[in-house]
Structure 1
Amino acid sequence: MAYNNKGFYRTEWYIDGQRYTRQTEIPVTGSKKNKEKAQALQAQWRAETEADIMAAEANRVRNPKGKILDQTLDEAVAEYFEDHEGQWSGIRDIEADFERIIGYLGAHFMIGDIDTETIIEMVNKRKREFVKLRTKDGKPKIDKATGKPKPQKLVSARTVNISVGERMKWFLSHMESKGRQIQPIRWEVVWVKEAPRHTEFTYEHEQLMLKTYRTDHLPALCFALAGGPRREQFVDLRWDQIDWRKRTITFKSLKKKAKKGQEPKPYVLAMTPSIENLILSQIDPETKRPYNPEYVWTYVGERTFWNNKTGRDHVKGERYRLTYEGIGTEWARWKKEQQLTNVRMHDMRHAAGERLAEACADPMIVRDSMNHGDLGMTERYMGGVKVERIRQAMLAREALDADRMQVVVPTENPTQNPTRVWA
């Protein structure tokens, strides 16, 4: 029995060498009865754990050597998460997807019974679900024109493929590598056909943004377009991430895979003069000091109000750190004002990579500049080769062909007729 630094008892017990711990709400201070209550609770939880282990073992299928061949879905998912602890970004989304999958099949469904038909049934269920409402009251937004709730949207084909297809593919592949007897899946019939997304942040969008966007937010957005980092990376840019001597900016890697047992390589962005000028715009010309001592990007308060998050006044005219939510809210407001329906802030990252690809023939440079895990991701983000680049390549080939066709090929051995003059 132990207690944590918050003054509440924490229970601890071992079963077959496996350590289990659980926090109680029983305070350490007080009578001896509190300790007895905590001990009784520990005994109860230990008994429940032993019962769960016995129930799980009853459902396991082992070979003569004791190797697990099959097990329940909830146990396998817990094992899957334990094997990948600390290796995933976006863990909340992954947890939500597997909670949904367990809800479809049931916690005691055996993973050895999962076949192509099972996954297709889950895909069909997911296709009939709606996009999760993000309103505070949990109700659909009201259409101002009609006064009626806006219709809910079904989840996209891309969401279905990620939340069911990709999750199950990686899960079953991992469990198979651990010796579980997994049925072969025809993945080609599982995937839902995705409609191509034709969003692009064009030069016209850039010109419109420069003319109409809120000026104190512009430096951060122009930085995103110039360098191509993700929103959670460029919004949280700190001054200590900038190396002025090497003229580089080092971001924490979010997506790039690392070799087993190694930390992901940092995302290093080269600093060009235009990027440097954008960063220097966040230094007060009078005091010669940054507007914010820790974070680079700031904005000017447009009104005075009490900020519940910070617990202090938000004063009009003063500089504050730019946040992930704040820049997103302003982006949504600007899109609505300019009547842009199919342009995302993330499209600026795609535009940065595509423009770099047009100016550079080396895909390795584009990959590292965009911090992609592999060239396949770079190719998917960059899309197909522009027609103009294909035309330039064809013209270069035609010029090469023309040069080669002008060469006169000898018809006799020059060593046998040294006086012959060759064209």
Structure 2
Amino acid sequence: MTIYRPKNSPYYHFDYQYRSVRYHGSTNCVSKRDAEQFERDHRREVATGRKEKPSVTIDEGAGIYWQDRGQFEKNASTTEYQIGNVLRLIGGTTLVQDIDDLTVARMVSIRRGERAFPKRRKKKGSPPPRLVSAATVNREVELLKRILNFLAPRYRVGEVEWKRHKLKEPKERVREASPQEEASIFAALREKEPDLCDLVEFALISGARRTAITTLLWSKVDQRRGTASVHTKGDEWHTFPLTQRMREIIANRPKAGPFVFTYVCERPSPARGDRPRRLKGERYPFSKEGWYRKWYRALAEAGVTDFRFHDLRHTAATRIARTNGIQVAQRLLGHTRIETTTRYAHTSDDDLLAAMENVEQSRNSPEQGDNGMPENRRNTHLRRVK
């Protein structure tokens, strides 16, 4: 290799001869490895007389994808997070042309064995650690596929049989809180954790996501019109009406900052990178996960198992769909596609039995004759038999 970096230049240059002809110039690469690959590509083009697509590392390729497309996606923050995982698992200096089935299989294997959140000191009542879900791994593999497909017209990329690496995802979770479980949960929260109790009840009625409720702003609540707007996935605002009970919850919340739902700090804590210092007795907005310990402790006291905060959203959607139909549930949850709503609103055996009994009762109504057949139709049938 005849790669060198001139003085006062950030880029490596190449300089070699082929059949008594000298070829030299800048590779425009700051990495020696990338520059060496550039020279190999250049030598191949000179020897064959055929210009081939240049090489690029996955780090540079992901950067190109982010600048041209990723940052403009609806879930750009999620895409950025997933890109970080892809680069960490594959290695940013890996050339995209070297990414093959073995590379992707290794990425899937490592990611599948990781925890869903960073390791930290386990506290009493905190949720047990869980592995990264198959759905999360599949989404990150799909992102890698999108990046390589995006780069393919301009750069050399490896060949991958993507279907081989898709993990089987579990069936859609079906979990609705029963009236008894609901009463037990609120009994455990009402006296000890009144602030969290309000947040949970608001979630159960509105069907809104956890983050949407914890970040609900006073400026997005219109008590006169009886509506509230929450920030949802896709960087959009979803507006829904407030019931009388929801109005009461909001009206009784103390105004301690821009957020509706806050809590009283029980123990002081020093400043961190994501938040300022906290003082005992002062009110602060709910963090993303800081209140999980109290939530799981309340579930334990209530004797409720296998129940997540997101199941409150499932419960709200199922109850609305049961009494008012799937389209009303779709409007409540703010879904653009009704197929998404069907994953939240579930039909139980009791719902099916009640529907079947309603049909049975309609067949045996007084307006119908023997065997549940209307009188005029029954006579017609008998005449045909004769």
Q: Provide TM-score, normalisation by structure 2.
A: 0.69
- Name the structure 1 match of 2:309: 345
- Name the structure 2 match of 1:380: 343
**In the TM superposition, what are the counterparts of 1:286-365 in structure 2 within 5 Å?**
290-302=254-266, 305=268, 307-308=270-271, 314-316=279-281, 319-338=283-302, 342-361=306-325, 363-365=326-328
Query: 2:216 touches 2:260 (CA, 8 Å); kept in 1?
Result: yes
Q: 1:204 to 1:128 in 2, by over 3 A?
A: same
**In the TM superposition, what are the counterparts of 1:183-194 in structure 2 within 5 Å?**
185=161, 187=163, 190-194=166-170
Query: 2:96 touches 2:156 (CA, 8 Å); kept in 1?
Result: no
- 1:279 offset after TM fit, Å? 0.4
- 1:315 offset after TM fit, Å? 4.1
What percent identity do the matched residue pairs reach? 24
Letter of the 1:225 partner, please give it. L
Structure 1 distance, partners of 2:164, 2:311, is 29
* Secondary structure of 1:334's aligned partner: helix
RMSD: 4.3
Structure 2 distance, partners of 1:222, 1:334, is 14
Alignment deviations for residues 393-414 of structure 1 (CA, whole Å, 9 cap, x no partner):
3334445656582142587xxx
Query: How many residues are treated as equivalent by the alignment?
Result: 336
- Name the structure 2 match of 1:51: 29
Query: 2:210 touches 2:310 (CA, 8 Å); kept in 1?
Result: yes
Pairing 1:281–2:252 present: yes
- Name the structure 2 match of 1:98: 86
Of residues 155, 166, 180, the one that matches 1:204 is 180
Q: Provide TM-score, normalisation by structure 1.
A: 0.64
Pairing 1:271–2:236 present: no
Query: 2:188 touches 2:301 (CA, 8 Å); kept in 1?
Result: no
- 1:353 offset after TM fit, Å? 1.7
Gaps of 5+ in 1: 1-41, 144-150, 257-263, 283-289, 412-423
Letter of the 2:195 partner, please give it. D
Of residues 376, 379, 383, the one that matches 1:408 is 376
Structure 2 distance, partners of 1:360, 1:391, is 17
Structure 2 distance, partners of 1:184, 1:407, is 67
Letter of the 1:160 partner, please give it. V
Structure 2 distance, partners of 1:325, 1:181, is 40
- Name the structure 2 match of 1:236: 215
The structure with higher relative contact order (CA 8 Å, sep 6+) is 2
Of residues 105, 108, 117, the one that matches 2:95 is 108
Pairing 1:367–2:354 present: no
- 1:373 offset after TM fit, Å? 4.6
- 1:250 offset after TM fit, Å? 1.2
* Secondary structure of 1:330's aligned partner: helix
Gaps of 5+ in 2: 1-6, 14-26, 381-386
Q: 1:352 to 1:406 in 2, by over 3 A?
A: same
- Name the structure 2 match of 1:84: 70
